[in-house]
Structures are given as C-alpha cells and as structure tokens.
C-alpha cells in the first residue's frame, strides 16, 4: 500500500480541476497544466480534493499509484506557487547574463554559451554568479537547470562549476609531494 497515494491532493481556492478524455486539467492563478491519465489508476475530482486509487490490484497499478499522486500534486502546486531552481556559478571569470529569451554563459570556453529559454520558463540573473529558473511545470524547470549545469559540473578539487544552491560538493585533497 502506498502511503503517499492514500493522501488526497487538496485543491486550494482559485484552482479548478477537471477530467476530460483521459486528461486531467488544472487551472490556477499562474496558468494551466495538463496530465495524461493512466488506465491503471482511478482519478476522482471531489469537492476540494483530488483522490488517486489503483484501478485494480496488479503490481504495476500499485507501483504507479504513489507516482501518479505526486504528479497530480505537482500540477496543483505549479499553478498556485510555481517552482524555482537556483544555480550558483563558482570560478574565476565564470558568469551568466539573462538577455530577453536567451541565457548567455561565460564558462571558460573559447566561446560564450547561448541557451534559448524554453517557453513557460522565466530566467533571472540577480548577479553574475546566480541563475534563478522559475515556472509552473516542475519537470521543465528541473530539465532546463540540468542542461545549464551540464556545461560545467562542479569539480571535486576546487569546487569550480555550476551547482544547485545548497548542493554539497564532495571535495578531494590534491596531490602531495
């Protein structure tokens, strides 16, 4: 039995949820998000909450149960509060600059890295070493943050690179004589 799946997802005021043609649509103050529904799970939109239950007692239905409930919860949270990831750049000469719908990164390569910002996301650079990515879809926020981080992962000797805020970077000791 899924402990997470048993809890219904509360729908706050100003948010509406509807199920039509195998699609769960959640509308809120920050926008609209959709989720394709699985045949293995029963979804019910009741007053003030969305409940998720397995359609049968198969192993696969029970495995999907908690994940589907979490995906529904992410939809509700995304249209009410949104999601944010913060990246921190460490290294001499490494910097970032948001220019309209592009993000320009200087990461020690012979060229600047220009990344187009996907639709539905907002990128801010409060200073040259901080990148804030925000949006309503948790998956797309995390994916774009991972794509930025992939250009310079933090290295273990000096800690240079792009890291998530609060991420612990395992440090190694250098060579000894």
Could you tell me the pTM of the whole model? Answer: 0.90
Instruction: Considering the domain delimited by 3-80, tell me its CATH architecture.
Output: Alpha-Beta Complex (3.90)
What distance, in Å, lies between the first and last C-alpha atoms of the chain? Answer: 57
Q: Quick one: which of 13, 9, 127, 29 has its CA closest to 78?
A: 29
Task: Write the Ramachandran bin of 71: left for phi over 0, alpha for psi from -120 to 50, otherwise beta.
Answer: alpha
Residue 90: CB atoms within 10 A of its CB come to 16
- The CATH number assigned to the domain with range 83-164 reads 3.90.930.12
Please determine whether the domains at 3-80 and 83-164 fall in the same fold group of CATH. yes
Q: Between these two residues, 117 and 5, which has the higher pLDDT value?
A: 117
CA distances from 16 to 11, 27, 49 (A): 7, 5, 10
Residue listed under structure tokens 């509308």 = 27
Please write the tens of the pLDDT for every residue from 50-90: 999 999 999 999 999 999 999 999 999 999 999 999 999 99
What's the rounded mean pLDDT across residues 108-126? 95
The full set of domain ranges for the chain reads 3-80, 83-164
- Tell me if 154 sits within 8 A of 90, measured CB to CB: yes
User: pLDDT tens, 11-60?
Assistant: 998 999 999 988 999 999 999 999 999 999 999 998 889 999 999 999 99
């Amino acid at each position: 039995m899924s402990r997470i799946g048993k809890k219904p997802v509360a729908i706050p005021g100003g948010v509406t949820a509807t199920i039509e043609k195998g699609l769960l649509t959640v509308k809120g103050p920050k926008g609209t998000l959709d989720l394709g529904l699985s045949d293995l799970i029963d979804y019910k939109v009741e007053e003030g909450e969305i409940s998720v239950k397995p359609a049968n007692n198969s192993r696969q239905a029970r495995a999907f149960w908690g994940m589907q409930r979490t995906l529904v919860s992410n939809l509700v949270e995304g249209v009410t509060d949104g999601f944010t990831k913060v990246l921190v750049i460490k290294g001499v000469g490494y910097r970032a600059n948001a220019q309209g719908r592009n993000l320009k990164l200087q990461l020690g390569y012979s060229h600047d890295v220009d990344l187009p910002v996907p639709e539905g996301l907002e990128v801010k650079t409060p200073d040259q070493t901080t990148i804030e990515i925000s949006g309503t879809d948790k998956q797309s926020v995390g994916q774009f943050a991972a794509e930025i981080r992939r250009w310079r992962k933090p290295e273990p000797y000096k800690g240079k690179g792009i890291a998530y805020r609060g991420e612990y970077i395992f440090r190694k000791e250098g060579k000894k004589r």
